[in-house]
Amino acid sequence: MKNILIAITSSISAYKIYELIRMYKKSGFNVKVILSPNALNFVSPLTLEALSQNKVYFEQFASRDDIEHITLATWADVFVIAPISANTISKIAQGICDNLLTSVFCAYFGYKKPVLLAPAMNEGMWNNPIIQQNLDTLKNLDCTIIYPETGFLACGKDGVGRLAKIETIYHKTLRLLYQNKENNSKKIVVTIGATKEKIDNVRYITNLSSGKMGIAIANWAYYSGYDVTAITTVEIDMPYKTIKVDSALEMLEKLREIQNDNKEERGFDYLIMAAAVADFRSENINETKISKEHIKDEFILKLIKNPDIVSTVAKEKKEYQKIIGFCLADDDIINCAKKKLKNKNLDYIVANEIKTALNTDKNKVTIIDKSDNIIDIDLDTKENIAKKILEVVCD
């Protein structure tokens, strides 16, 4: 179980950290909280103790039996300071240790473990060149900084300085905890969700896929340190790159753009085709809504086949690229998956049943490779299934 040490400094946005701690605890992490002296004006130690289920620390010399700035520094796997004020940024950048928080940081930093800083302050303070210089110092020392957003500030004006979204801080924390830095140069593309094939400007053909399995795979690829791109039909708010599409043709177009090497960068290393792509689309798309008043007893819709995205991409794959497909079926799943694996020139295929896969938070799958090796993964959360899929297909 990972240990998260989170420090809160004096900012009006300090109350938002209650929700961040709840998210950490829900994910099974151990959490301990440090407060700067002035943070006590914004948040309650009693509430933080209830949420973290641990003592809250804020006095430099509170214990005669424990050297807290050392024991906390050695205990933590990651140190998150959110929100971090202009004052604390400047102190830790210069090695000042005048309270428990800054002393813990000084000791912790010596162990070369990950640090995550999420600043929040007034726009004028944020634009101060001294603060920016101190942030650059910390960034150059390998601190991860989540820059503030632009929005309505406590002073009553719009500007830059709002604390980043709590979800962003949460996801960045998990990446720092789980990433293998060797993966940073490897690219994973994940396709996600059910495609939507237009009939007119308000109607479309789709299927029941929620996209949850694909999102779980993309998230865990990000946490594991990969350079992730999601080509998705569903909205995703994550720190990795997302490309929103609707139809199968749009998905194929974006995928082929990413697949091919160019002067700036090479194509993907892994493609995981988790999207539920419609097999057919309407031959003709009406530019305006089709009115039922103009239709008598029946409406005949002529469908044509969509291109097989994974087969099309697999024909052009480079030697270094691996392509992983998905197979969804009612019965005879393994034989169906083996056939697709061979016919589509895939490196792996993930087989799952309709009754366990669609619109659920859990799944069970079978992974098959080109040598007919079979790995069964029993019913589990889609997050845990995603981790296991990545462990198998990514080397």
Report, as residue numbers or ranges, the catalytic residues. 155
Tokens 């079978």, located at residue: 366
Cα 281 from Cα 245, distance rounded (Å): 15
What is the token pair recorded at 196? 């939507």
In sign, the C-alpha dihedral spanning 355, 358, 359, 363 is positive
DSSP one-letter string for 103-155: HHHHHHHTTT--EEEEE---HHHHT-HHHHHHHHHHHHTT-EE-PPEEEE-TT
For 247-282, letters b (16+ CB in 10 Å) and e give bbebbbebbeebbeeeeeeebbbbbbbbbbbbeebb
- Residue 361: CB atoms within 10 Å: 10
8 Å CB contact between 257 and 229: no
- CA–CA separation, 349 vs 342, rounded Å? 10
Strand partners, 117: 81, 145
* Dihedral angle, C-alpha 350, 355, 360, 364, nearest 10 °: -40
Q: How many CB atoms lie within 10 A of CB 382?
A: 23
- How do beta strands 204-205 and 197-198 pair? antiparallel
- The two three-digit tokens of residue 184, written as one number: 């940073």
CA distance 182 to 186: 8
> What residues have CB less than 8 Å from 253, skipping those under 6 apart?
none
> CA-CA-CA-CA torsion for 330, 334, 335, 339, nearest 10 degrees?
100
How far is the first Cα of the chain from the last one, in angstroms, to the nearest whole number? 25
**Are 112 and 97 spatial neighbours (Cβ–Cβ below 8 Å)?**
no
Whether 170 and 24 have beta carbons less than 8 Å apart is answered as yes
